[in-house]
Amino acid sequence: MTARADVRGEPAAPPRRRRRWVAALALVVLVALGGAVLAGRLGGSEAAPSALVGQPAPPLQGQTLDGGTFDLAQWRGEVVLVNVWASWCAPCRREQPLLTEAAAALGPRGLRIVGIDVRDTPEDARSFLAEAGSAGWPSVRDPEGTHAVEWGTFALPETYLVDRDGTVVAKAVGEVDPRWITDTVVPVLEEGAP
């Protein structure tokens, strides 16, 4: 029964502590949300390679390397591979044989190929074709790179698959590989085969 300090524990203490908890929780949620959004934005480009897939193909009209003119609209009703390339692009050189092979094998079944030759000189381009195998398809000259931008090209090479309705249905980033041809191009060819 000794003297006791006349101090009473403050029963009103909890609210402030609770408020601090709420603030901490809000901060954590905000940081997590921000992280999720950022992660979504950074990872987004991998998940959806092109905003153009599923959309009508952009127009492609212009001078070709061999001096003629080309208009994609005239190929409506055909399955078209649009290949963006340049003579200064090493992977483009490597994929050239495969494209040639595809043209030979699938051409009779209705596959057409057109190139977009980006920021190239006609001389360089022609010597490239002479070395890598002369393509049996036209290439539209794109000295400023505006056609490539029109198609939403990030880097060379890129290849777009346009179906018979004129819709972009697929895009290959980098070198085309045989698997993409058999798994993606061939089914589209078979879809509306006459």
Site for another protein in 23-42 (CB under 8 A): 30, 33-34, 37, 40-41
CB of 167 to another protein, least distance (A): 14
- Answer yes or no whether residue 187 interacts with another protein by CB under 8 A: no
Nearer to another protein (CB atom), residue 9 or residue 108: 9
Among residues 110, 145, 166, 174, which is the contact residue for another protein, using CB under 8 A? 145
By CB under 8 A, which span of 75-83, 127-135, 145-153, 180-188 interacts with another protein?
A: 145-153
Chain residues 47-86 in contact with another protein, contact rule CB under 8 A: 48, 50-52, 55, 58, 86
| Nearer to another protein (CB atom), residue 111 or residue 115 | 115
Say if CB 143 and CB 149 are below 8 A apart. no
User: Rounded distance, CA 84 to CA 7, Å?
Assistant: 82
- Residue 63 phi/psi, 5-degree rounding, is -75, 140
Distances (CA, A) of 116 to 56, 69, 70, 113, 190: 18, 13, 11, 10, 25
How many Cα neighbours within 13 Å face the side chain of 15? 3
Out of 99, 135, 148, 162, the residue judged to bind another protein by CB under 8 A: 148
Q: Least distance from C-beta 115 to another protein, angstroms?
A: 16
Strands 79-85 and 61-63 turn out to be unpaired
How many angstroms separate the Cα of 30 from the Cα of each of 5, 23, 24, 71, 177?
Answer: 45, 10, 10, 51, 43
- Total Cβ atoms within 10 A of residue 144: 10
* CB of residue 37 to another protein, shortest distance in Å: 5
| Binding footprint of another protein on the chain (CB under 8 A) | 1-8, 10-12, 30, 33-34, 37, 40-41, 44-45, 48, 50-52, 55, 58, 86, 118-119, 142, 144-156
